Amino acid sequence: MTPLSLSPRAQRLRDAGYKLTSARLAVLRAIEDSDGHITSSELLERVAAADPSIGRASVFRTLDLFTRLSLVRPTYIGTSVTPTYVLMPNGHHHHIICTNCDRVIEFEECGLNGLTSELEKRLNVHLTGHLLEFYGLCDDCFRLPRVHDA
Ligand SMILES: [Zn+2]
Ligand SMILES: [Zn+2]
Ligand SMILES: [Zn+2]
Protein backbone atom coordinates (compact mmCIF):
# COMPACT_ATOMS: atom_id res chain seq x y z
CA MET A 1 0.00 0.00 0.00
CA THR A 2 1.62 3.21 -1.14
CA PRO A 3 0.26 6.62 -0.12
CA LEU A 4 -0.50 7.31 -3.79
CA SER A 5 -3.20 4.65 -3.85
CA LEU A 6 -5.08 6.10 -0.87
CA SER A 7 -8.60 7.22 -1.63
CA PRO A 8 -9.56 10.79 -0.64
CA ARG A 9 -11.49 9.38 2.31
CA ALA A 10 -8.47 7.39 3.50
CA GLN A 11 -6.38 10.53 3.27
CA ARG A 12 -8.95 12.49 5.28
CA LEU A 13 -8.89 9.75 7.90
CA ARG A 14 -5.11 9.93 8.11
CA ASP A 15 -5.14 13.75 8.15
CA ALA A 16 -7.61 13.61 11.05
CA GLY A 17 -4.99 11.63 12.98
CA TYR A 18 -6.36 8.10 12.61
CA LYS A 19 -3.89 5.32 11.90
CA LEU A 20 -4.65 3.57 8.62
CA THR A 21 -4.80 0.05 10.00
CA SER A 22 -5.40 -2.82 7.60
CA ALA A 23 -8.92 -3.21 9.03
CA ARG A 24 -9.76 0.45 8.43
CA LEU A 25 -8.40 0.37 4.88
CA ALA A 26 -10.15 -2.91 4.06
CA VAL A 27 -13.51 -1.71 5.41
CA LEU A 28 -13.20 1.61 3.60
CA ARG A 29 -12.29 -0.09 0.34
CA ALA A 30 -15.20 -2.55 0.60
CA ILE A 31 -17.64 0.31 1.22
CA GLU A 32 -16.21 2.39 -1.60
CA ASP A 33 -16.34 -0.61 -3.98
CA SER A 34 -20.04 -1.04 -3.25
CA ASP A 35 -22.58 1.24 -4.90
CA GLY A 36 -22.70 3.36 -1.77
CA HIS A 37 -24.84 0.87 0.16
CA ILE A 38 -23.58 -2.22 1.95
CA THR A 39 -25.04 -4.41 4.67
CA SER A 40 -22.85 -5.44 7.56
CA SER A 41 -22.96 -9.09 6.39
CA GLU A 42 -21.87 -8.15 2.85
CA LEU A 43 -19.15 -6.06 4.39
CA LEU A 44 -17.94 -8.93 6.59
CA GLU A 45 -17.82 -11.19 3.51
CA ARG A 46 -15.87 -8.71 1.41
CA VAL A 47 -13.40 -7.91 4.15
CA ALA A 48 -12.85 -11.61 4.91
CA ALA A 49 -12.24 -12.26 1.20
CA ALA A 50 -9.76 -9.39 1.00
CA ASP A 51 -7.92 -10.17 4.24
CA PRO A 52 -8.96 -13.20 6.33
CA SER A 53 -6.84 -11.99 9.25
CA ILE A 54 -9.31 -9.15 9.98
CA GLY A 55 -11.86 -10.31 12.54
CA ARG A 56 -15.54 -9.42 12.88
CA ALA A 57 -14.90 -7.35 15.98
CA SER A 58 -12.50 -5.02 14.23
CA VAL A 59 -14.88 -4.67 11.27
CA PHE A 60 -17.65 -3.55 13.65
CA ARG A 61 -15.31 -1.28 15.62
CA THR A 62 -14.29 0.30 12.32
CA LEU A 63 -17.93 0.76 11.29
CA ASP A 64 -18.59 2.49 14.61
CA LEU A 65 -15.64 4.80 14.01
CA PHE A 66 -16.74 5.59 10.45
CA THR A 67 -20.26 6.29 11.70
CA ARG A 68 -18.91 8.68 14.37
CA LEU A 69 -16.89 10.42 11.66
CA SER A 70 -20.00 10.72 9.43
CA LEU A 71 -18.37 8.72 6.64
CA VAL A 72 -21.29 6.30 6.73
CA ARG A 73 -24.70 6.09 8.37
CA PRO A 74 -26.62 2.94 9.24
CA THR A 75 -30.11 2.74 7.79
CA TYR A 76 -32.78 0.07 7.54
CA ILE A 77 -33.88 -0.56 3.99
CA GLY A 78 -36.69 -2.96 3.22
CA THR A 79 -37.24 -5.87 5.56
CA SER A 80 -33.59 -6.40 6.38
CA VAL A 81 -32.89 -7.00 10.06
CA THR A 82 -29.30 -5.82 9.70
CA PRO A 83 -28.60 -2.22 8.86
CA THR A 84 -27.39 -1.12 5.46
CA TYR A 85 -24.51 1.30 5.77
CA VAL A 86 -24.72 4.12 3.28
CA LEU A 87 -21.79 6.22 2.19
CA MET A 88 -22.15 9.93 2.89
CA PRO A 89 -20.50 11.77 0.01
CA ASN A 90 -20.06 15.36 1.20
CA GLY A 91 -22.30 14.63 4.16
CA HIS A 92 -25.44 14.03 2.11
CA HIS A 93 -27.44 10.96 1.25
CA HIS A 94 -31.02 11.18 -0.03
CA HIS A 95 -33.53 8.39 -0.58
CA ILE A 96 -37.10 7.98 -1.63
CA ILE A 97 -38.35 4.60 -0.43
CA CYS A 98 -41.47 2.93 -1.75
CA THR A 99 -43.32 1.51 1.23
CA ASN A 100 -44.97 -1.15 -0.93
CA CYS A 101 -42.12 -2.65 -2.98
CA ASP A 102 -39.12 -1.31 -1.01
CA ARG A 103 -37.67 0.26 -4.15
CA VAL A 104 -35.07 2.88 -3.28
CA ILE A 105 -34.78 5.93 -5.54
CA GLU A 106 -31.65 8.06 -5.12
CA PHE A 107 -31.57 11.75 -5.77
CA GLU A 108 -28.84 14.38 -5.55
CA GLU A 109 -30.70 17.66 -5.23
CA CYS A 110 -30.56 19.09 -1.76
CA GLY A 111 -32.58 22.06 -0.62
CA LEU A 112 -31.44 21.81 2.97
CA ASN A 113 -28.51 24.19 3.23
CA GLY A 114 -30.72 26.98 4.53
CA LEU A 115 -32.32 24.70 7.08
CA THR A 116 -28.91 23.40 8.14
CA SER A 117 -27.50 26.82 8.96
CA GLU A 118 -30.77 27.90 10.58
CA LEU A 119 -30.67 24.83 12.87
CA GLU A 120 -27.01 25.38 13.71
CA LYS A 121 -27.73 28.95 14.80
CA ARG A 122 -31.00 28.31 16.59
CA LEU A 123 -30.06 25.08 18.38
CA ASN A 124 -26.34 25.82 18.76
CA VAL A 125 -25.20 22.60 17.07
CA HIS A 126 -22.54 21.84 14.49
CA LEU A 127 -23.95 19.64 11.76
CA THR A 128 -21.78 17.33 9.66
CA GLY A 129 -24.38 15.77 7.37
CA HIS A 130 -27.80 14.32 6.92
CA LEU A 131 -29.48 11.17 5.73
CA LEU A 132 -32.80 12.15 4.19
CA GLU A 133 -35.45 9.51 3.59
CA PHE A 134 -38.78 10.26 1.98
CA TYR A 135 -41.41 7.53 2.11
CA GLY A 136 -44.27 6.97 -0.27
CA LEU A 137 -45.35 4.93 -3.24
CA CYS A 138 -43.52 4.57 -6.54
CA ASP A 139 -45.72 5.09 -9.58
CA ASP A 140 -46.02 1.34 -10.33
CA CYS A 141 -47.31 0.67 -6.82
CA PHE A 142 -49.52 3.75 -6.87
CA ARG A 143 -51.29 2.30 -9.92
CA LEU A 144 -51.87 -1.08 -8.29
CA PRO A 145 -55.41 -1.51 -7.11
CA ARG A 146 -55.89 -1.48 -3.35
CA VAL A 147 -52.35 -0.55 -2.30
CA HIS A 148 -53.14 3.02 -1.38
CA ASP A 149 -56.84 2.99 -0.71
CA ALA A 150 -57.15 -0.17 1.38
ZN1 LIG B 1 -43.21 0.50 -5.33
ZN1 LIG C 1 -28.67 5.52 -1.22
ZN1 LIG D 1 -28.62 16.92 1.25
The 10 Å Cβ neighbour count of residue 67 is 15
Alpha carbon of 106 to ligand 1 centroid (Å): 14
Say how many Å lie between the CA of residue 85 and the centre of ligand 2: 9
Contact indicator for 88, 61 with CB cutoff of 8 Å: no
pLDDT value for 2: 47
| Ligand 2 mean position, distance from CA 84 (Å) | 10
SS (H, E, C) 29-78: HHHHHCCCEEEHHHHHHHHHHHCCCCCHHHHHHHHHHHHHCCCEEEECCC
| Rounded mean pLDDT for each run of 10 residues along the chain, 150 residues in total | 71 91 94 90 94 95 93 81 86 92 91 94 94 94 76
Find out whether 27 and 47 touch, Cβ atoms under 8 Å. Answer: yes
DSSP β-bridge partners for residue 99 = none
pTM of the predicted protein model: 0.80
The pLDDT value recorded for residue 148 is: 59
Other CB atoms closer than 10 Å to residue 92's CB: what's the count?
A: 14
pLDDT score, position 128? 87
Q: What is the distance in A from the centroid of ligand 3 to the CA of 92?
A: 4
